[in-house]
Structure 1
Amino acid sequence: MDQTHSRATIADRLPLGRNELIALAAALMALNALAIDIMLPGLQEIGASLGEPDENRRQLVITAYITGFGLAQLVFGPLSDRFGRRNPLLVGVVVYVIAAFACAVSPTFGALLALRFVQGMGAAATRVIAISVIRDIFGGRAMAEVMSLVFMVFMVVPVIAPGVGQVIMLFANWHWIFVFIGIMSTLVLIWIAMRLPETLRPENTRAFTVSSIAEGFRIVLTNRVAVCYTVALTFMFGALFGFINSAQQIYVGLYGVGAWFPVFFGVVAGFMAISSYLNARLVGRFGMRKLAHGALLGFLAMTTLGFVLALLGPVPLWLFTIIYALAMVQFAWIGANFNSLAMEPLGHVAGTASSVQGFLQTAGGGIIGALIGQAFDGTIRAFSAGYFFAGLFALVMVLIAERGRLFQPQHAPLHDK
């Protein structure tokens, strides 16, 4: 039985339809956006309430979560290749829920960072297994289309989450932000338990031993196309995390938008959501490479403009918003397609592949984003430089993956190294 027919058989057996599967996968990935974006309006109050005077260090509430999220993916991937997708996912979401409620009663800033690290570890299961489930069922352009739709729903969360956080802060204190996260993640947990079946094919089950895990990592890390696209996406996520880390200080501290911050933040995320939908509609016609490579060049063009303008002097709010909203339109096309291109050759080790790639993207991207955020000096120079160099390094990795030729359909074997 070939893999295409096998995937179709799995899809036919699913108790939930394609649209519900996409919605559930998006909800799983959206838990990560929820855990980050909803608290952006409250970061400064959280730090002040828990005795952290350094405004830049208050960004560590985000960095701690991303670090735990990145590291634990290395564990959940092999676990899901051995024990299936469903049970490790349930364990991870339970950890996420408990940590969210515990964060609400955290007594110190250090304790909050520790709990956020644990919450990120639980969330690692959602990212790894959501992508593994999609790869279990879909391949090629169909996978890219589904991933784009997942990203589209996922991007709706950054549009509304800061606004929700702002509303919570108007009527209550920051503790209730974490209560809200705990409630929403509990609902997702119930949804998983009731509706998500096991999607790992028996023939793809791998032993959970040191040698088997090492072999899985070797398969992933020696595939040239997969590694290069993963590293390229790592730089792109670094830019995204840099934006998340710096957004509150730039929009509120530098541009003085005050309570309008969620609106400006949401505009950027909204453009990303629309772009993801367009990618889902176009990828079947034009292919992943043409769309992704064109978007990367567009991203680099916009960030080059932003970097040059930042070096020349202050950039007005309207121009800053337009430049980086257009850059993030390109990011949406890059993210879904790069992810699919990195996963396509590795369906037989999807869990391990998703974990290694997720670790590199989130941990590496988190470090890059933290460096961008910590470099904030009251201007957009460091932020603009981070975006420009992230795009430039991503282009270098794509050129290595494609042997110097962009926009070309891939005719090489799937396991090209």
Structure 2
Amino acid sequence: MKHREMGFLSFIAILALLMALVSITINMVLPAFQSMANTFQLRHQNQIQLVISLLYLGLGIGQLFYGPLSDSIGRKRTIYIGLILFITGCLVSYLSGDLVTLIAGQIIQGLGLGAPRVISLSIVRDRYAGNSMARAMSFIMVIYILTPIFSPILGKMVLMLAEWRTLFIVFIFLGLAVLLLFRYVMPETLPPERRKAFTVRHLVAATAGIVNNQISLGCIIILGVYSGVFITYLNLSQPIFEIEYQLGNRYPFYFASLALGIGLASFLNGKLVTGFGMEKLIRYAIWSGLTASVPFIILTGWYQGHPPLSILLIFLFIQLFCYGILIGNLSAMAMKPFGNFAGLAAAIIGALSTLISVPLSIGLGRYFNGSVMPLVAGFLVAGVVSIIIFHHNHQVKLAHE
């Protein structure tokens, strides 16, 4: 199907919506945790955390295949596959009569969402280069950063008007809207003559190459550990703020204010990385997070797991700001030696870090009993582990120079 040449703003708007679909799906569900747990009459409230943790598992596994698949069959066909999977997962979640079926639906959604996560960046690379690519990505990332701020508020608004299952109807319509936009508006950006055959052997060889690189593997482990604690924060934010601190309907607004920490970090990182370099920013972020965690875990113990809300908000803002600095720089540093297959490397790095983060988030979440101690301890352990690995990476780098 032929398309007229797309304008810059139309192109950016569709890709921003595609990337935002991932964040919207995750964050709009958070205010519904209590309602879901009540519907399924769960004996252990912590079980509902599997909804987000296993969606991330599907997301991590899914993106491993979408990059090379899109290089083989084209960007649009790959997006169709991902969005159809996502819509199917939403339908399964909507119809679920028990927690197991809901989780199955979330895993399918995650598998589908791997496509928007990977392909959006590939499409930008196909169409733009240099400063034009940087300009396009900056506009897309602004929308992507703002999405976690307003999506829990939208989720709460839906819940005030209807039951939690309605959220999945909203997601189905969003998925269909993006699918139709890609079908009838977005042109294919990878012509047949530039496509490459998909081979499992190439995927296995690329994965082995990344794992055998000590610096890249170290970055992946740090990224996985911090991401695991971040997923734990997503899982626990609703019970902590809405229930333990009795914020009620104000919870999404507190969540939104903390999400600004990641957005601010992403913005400042783009300004600072050229002057300081990735390695220094990673070191500063790890040490800052660890420095905040040591006194705060003592304070949390003093208050028997319920420190004053104002101090907790400051602590979480610092940690989320540090996480915002780390995610982009760790991914870029892990990918640095693999510029000859950057797209595939990004997918592999995302998948491997997810295989670390999901079990960690499930493990931390099981210890939640109303106290913020498991979350605070998670940030402390992430800092200690990361400092050890980062120091080892630095020694390896010096040895090769």
Please give the alpha-carbon distance, in whole angstroms, between the structure 2 residues aligned to 1:137 and 1:396. 41
- In the TM superposition, residue 146 of structure 1 has moved relative to its aligned partner by 7.4
Matches for 1:14-413 after TM superposition, within 5 Å: 15=6, 17=8, 24-133=14-123, 151-193=141-183, 194-195=185-186, 197-199=188-190, 206-313=196-303, 314-403=306-395
Are residues 71 and 144 of structure 1, via their aligned partners in 2, closer, same or farther at CA, if it must alter by over 3 Å?
Answer: same
Please give the alpha-carbon distance, in whole angstroms, between the structure 2 residues aligned to 1:35 and 1:391. 29
Taking structure 1 as the reference length, what is the TM-score of the superposition? Answer: 0.84
Kept after mapping to 1: 8 A contact 2:37/2:45: yes
Please give the alpha-carbon distance, in whole angstroms, between the structure 2 residues aligned to 1:232 and 1:370. 17
Kept after mapping to 2: 8 A contact 1:235/1:391: no
Partner SS state of residue 269, structure 1: helix
Are residues 43 and 298 of structure 1, via their aligned partners in 2, closer, same or farther at CA, if it must alter by over 3 Å?
Answer: same
Are residues 200 and 127 of structure 1, via their aligned partners in 2, closer, same or farther at CA, if it must alter by over 3 Å?
Answer: farther
**More displaced 10-residue stretch of structure 1: 226-235 or 161-170:** 226-235
- In the TM superposition, residue 142 of structure 1 has moved relative to its aligned partner by 9.8
Please give the alpha-carbon distance, in whole angstroms, between the structure 1 residues aligned to 2:285 and 2:54. 30
Please give the alpha-carbon distance, in whole angstroms, between the structure 2 residues aligned to 1:400 and 1:134. 35
Deviation by residue 1:254-280 (Cα, 9 ceiling, x = unmatched) = 211111111111111022212212222
Kept after mapping to 2: 8 A contact 1:39/1:177: yes
Kept after mapping to 2: 8 A contact 1:28/1:126: yes
Please give the alpha-carbon distance, in whole angstroms, between the structure 2 residues aligned to 1:147 and 1:223. 28
Deviation by residue 1:82-112 (Cα, 9 ceiling, x = unmatched) = 3344422231122112322342232332221
User: 1:318 is matched by which residue type in structure 2?
Assistant: S
- In the TM superposition, residue 164 of structure 1 has moved relative to its aligned partner by 0.9
User: 2:239 is matched by which residue type in structure 1?
Assistant: Q
User: 2:392 is matched by which residue type in structure 1?
Assistant: I
Please give the alpha-carbon distance, in whole angstroms, between the structure 2 residues aligned to 1:63 and 1:99. 15
Deviation by residue 1:370-397 (Cα, 9 ceiling, x = unmatched) = 2222210221111110111112222333
Are residues 306 and 202 of structure 1, via their aligned partners in 2, closer, same or farther at CA, if it must alter by over 3 Å?
Answer: farther
Deviation by residue 1:40-72 (Cα, 9 ceiling, x = unmatched) = 111111122234342111112212312222222
- In the TM superposition, residue 140 of structure 1 has moved relative to its aligned partner by 10
Are residues 91 and 265 of structure 1, via their aligned partners in 2, closer, same or farther at CA, if it must alter by over 3 Å?
Answer: same
Which stretches in structure 1 are left out of the alignment for 5+ residues? Answer: 1-13, 413-417
Partner SS state of residue 360, structure 2: helix
User: 2:349 is matched by which residue type in structure 1?
Assistant: Q
Partner SS state of residue 395, structure 2: coil
Please give the alpha-carbon distance, in whole angstroms, between the structure 2 residues aligned to 1:211 and 1:85. 21
Kept after mapping to 1: 8 A contact 2:289/2:379: no
Kept after mapping to 2: 8 A contact 1:51/1:109: no
Kept after mapping to 2: 8 A contact 1:144/1:336: no
Kept after mapping to 2: 8 A contact 1:129/1:351: no
Please give the alpha-carbon distance, in whole angstroms, between the structure 2 residues aligned to 1:43 and 1:303. 27
Please give the alpha-carbon distance, in whole angstroms, between the structure 1 residues aligned to 2:12 and 2:122. 13
Which stretches in structure 2 are left out of the alignment for 5+ residues? Answer: none
The answer for the alignment partner of 1:5 in structure 2 is none
Are residues 236 and 146 of structure 1, via their aligned partners in 2, closer, same or farther at CA, if it must alter by over 3 Å?
Answer: farther
User: 1:356 is matched by which residue type in structure 2?
Assistant: I
Kept after mapping to 2: 8 A contact 1:95/1:118: yes
Kept after mapping to 1: 8 A contact 2:367/2:374: yes
Partner SS state of residue 403, structure 1: helix
Please give the alpha-carbon distance, in whole angstroms, between the structure 2 residues aligned to 1:122 and 1:376. 30
